[in-house]
Structure 1
């Protein structure tokens, strides 16, 4: 139900329940959370790509389990009341860069899973929808707060309060995804972006991501102060010769890309 492939410096994690549209069953939730813990601790894995098998990225929580009178919704406090680690929140807190390669429908919890990643690359077959309100569940993975900060509150309310689907093209126009590509280009483009990010020194990559995410949750003035504190700390550990070498490498890369 979960495929893990380690590549050169990063891992590709594939939700593999195509017969259930990669819905998040309790076993898959536990396996995904455990896998994220393992991969974050692995020094050979410097980044992560999440995708799905078949025609869906992820259809959200498993509807059969939600309908089970003895299932997770029957617990006082809901889905995560037994202490199960929420893999969506775990993915959002993943220290290393993450990319959602959205191959198909990303619905409700699947929408949250994609939004928890740093970048979203969408196949032209991808679609996004928040059906929490329609099924009568309040989100537990941050969707009600995160989405409006990405696409604006009015557009977010349209999705939250209608449950309507958003096409990949419209998601691109609204700034929800980084780019839309042909289905056969989804993983190659995602992997190329990952390799670009992994060209940055690892400690800097992790530190910069943490700064961006931390500042995103603050007011503008506090975020600027946090940047100043981080810049000072990084300056104390960075050598001038290292900066010069990286600038030379960057210029070489720019010339290569221009050609």
Structure 2
């Protein structure tokens, strides 16, 4: 139900593998995802994680409604904070960059998991929908707050208060995803980006990701203060020799681009 592979140095791929159920997030799959992310976060050989779904129909359709219909306590998962049952929190808790490779539909809870990733690439098969209001429940994994911060409150309200699907192209046009590619190019594109990130030293990936995330959650003034404090602490241990050792590589890479 969950596949973990390491196809490149420094890169792990985590695949939600229930294509027959549109990769719906069953209780077991949510627990397996949290366990895998925790283990990869602690794995020094892994710098970047790619999260995707099996097949081309769905990234994930969200909570497994069939399972919930037989569990009187199942709806508690919609408001769970424990990463073992809240996959968005499991993704958010990871200190390393997570690239979401959105291969198909990302619906409701699946949309929330996608929003928890650091970068989103999607295939032309991808579509996004927030059906919480139509189902009659309110989101508990961050969608009502994160979506508006990604695409603005007016567009977020249009999606969430209609339950309409958003195409891959519309997601790109509205600034939700970084790029849209053909289905057979999704994983190559995600792996290429992951490899580019993995070429950065591990501590810098973690430090810079945290600086962006923590600052974004604050006001501009607070974020600038946070940046200054962390920059002073980090840069005081950077020596001219360390910069010189990296300069030639950086210049060569710039010329190649």
TM score, norm. by length of structure 1: 0.94
Which residue is equivalent to 1:35? 36
Question: Whole-Å Cα distance in 2 between the matches of residues 228 and 158 of structure 1?
Answer: 38
Report Cα offsets for 1:136-155 as digits up to 9, x if no partner: 22212111100111100100
Does residue 214 of the first structure (1) align with residue 239 of the second (2)?
Answer: no
Aligned pairs (5 A) from 1:43-122 = 43-54=44-55, 55-73=57-75, 80=80, 84-122=84-122
- SS state at 1:61 partner: coil
Tell me the number of residue pairs that the alignment of Structure 1 and Structure 2 aligns: 255
- SS state at 1:237 partner: coil
Which residue is equivalent to 1:201? 201
Shift of the 226–168 alpha-carbon distance from structure 1 to 2, 3 Å rule, reads: same
Which residue is equivalent to 2:167? 167
Task: Give the C-alpha shift of residue 79 in structure 1.
Answer: 5.2
Question: Whole-Å Cα distance in 1 between the matches of residues 134 and 54 of structure 2?
Answer: 26
Task: Give the C-alpha shift of residue 226 in structure 1.
Answer: 0.4
State whether residues 130 and 159 of structure 1, in contact with CA within 8 Å, keep that contact through their aligned partners in structure 2.
yes
Question: Whole-Å Cα distance in 2 between the matches of residues 247 and 84 of structure 1?
Answer: 42
> Which has the higher mean CA deviation after the structures are superposed, 162-171 or 82-91?
82-91
- SS state at 1:176 partner: coil
Question: Whole-Å Cα distance in 1 between the matches of residues 97 and 78 of structure 2?
Answer: 30
Which residue is equivalent to 1:250? 250
- SS state at 1:125 partner: coil
Question: Whole-Å Cα distance in 1 between the matches of residues 151 and 83 of structure 2?
Answer: 32
TM score, norm. by length of structure 2: 0.95
Gaps of 5+ in 1: none
Shift of the 117–78 alpha-carbon distance from structure 1 to 2, 3 Å rule, reads: closer
> Which has the higher mean CA deviation after the structures are superposed, 206-215 or 1-10?
1-10
Task: Give the C-alpha shift of residue 83 in structure 1.
Answer: 8.5
Question: Whole-Å Cα distance in 2 between the matches of residues 95 and 236 of structure 1?
Answer: 22
Question: Whole-Å Cα distance in 1 between the matches of residues 100 and 82 of structure 2?
Answer: 28
Question: Whole-Å Cα distance in 2 between the matches of residues 49 and 137 of structure 1?
Answer: 30
State whether residues 127 and 168 of structure 2, in contact with CA within 8 Å, keep that contact through their aligned partners in structure 1.
yes
Question: Whole-Å Cα distance in 2 between the matches of residues 42 and 153 of structure 1?
Answer: 38
Report Cα offsets for 1:209-235 as digits up to 9, x if no partner: 000000000000000000000110111
Which residue is equivalent to 2:225? 225
- SS state at 2:111 partner: helix
Shift of the 227–166 alpha-carbon distance from structure 1 to 2, 3 Å rule, reads: same
Which residue is equivalent to 2:190? 190
- SS state at 1:206 partner: helix
Root-mean-square deviation over aligned CA pairs? 1.6
